[in-house]
């Protein structure tokens, strides 16, 4: 993770073993840092229905790790475990 001009860039943390109960290779581990919203305002709505936000937040030294692997069939499958 690095901060570049106010934008947070995430890089794979490492090549990883897949979560327990999941077979196969090619998994990568990505940091999912926690943040604390100090201020959050809805300042408008876009034409597509999404809200325009104004926020002040603080990244925390805490979070999760998300494990991802590309599939060849175009499907998205969520696997959760402990």
Higher-pLDDT residue of 46 and 17 is: 46
Higher-pLDDT residue of 79 and 37 is: 37
**Could you tell me if 35 and 58 are in contact, meaning their C-beta atoms sit under 8 angstroms apart?**
yes
pLDDT at 22: 61
Exposed, middle or buried: residue 29 (CB in 10 Å: 0-12, 13-18, 19+)?
Answer: middle
Tell whether the model's pLDDT for residue 5 goes beyond 60.
no
pLDDT digits (tens, 9 = 90+) for 33-74: 899 999 999 999 999 999 999 999 998 888 888 888 888 898
Higher-pLDDT residue of 3 and 71 is: 71
Higher-pLDDT residue of 16 and 74 is: 74
Token pair belonging to 62: 């805490």
Cα-Cα-Cα-Cα dihedral sign, residues 60, 32, 11, 26: positive
Q: Which of 21, 7, 14 is nearest to 68 (CA)?
A: 14
Distances (CA, A) of 30 to 14, 39, 52, 67, 69: 8, 26, 27, 6, 11
């Amino acid at each position: 993770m690095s901060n570049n001009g106010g934008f947070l860039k995430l890089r794979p943390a490492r090549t990883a073993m897949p979560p327990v109960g999941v077979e196969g290779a090619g998994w990568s581990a990505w940091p999912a840092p926690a943040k604390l919203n100090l201020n959050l305002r809805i300042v408008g709505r876009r034409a597509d229905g999404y809200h325009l936000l104004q926020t002040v937040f603080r990244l925390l030294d805490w979070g999760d790790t998300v494990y991802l692997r590309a599939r060849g069939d175009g499907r998205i499958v969520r696997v959760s475990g402990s």
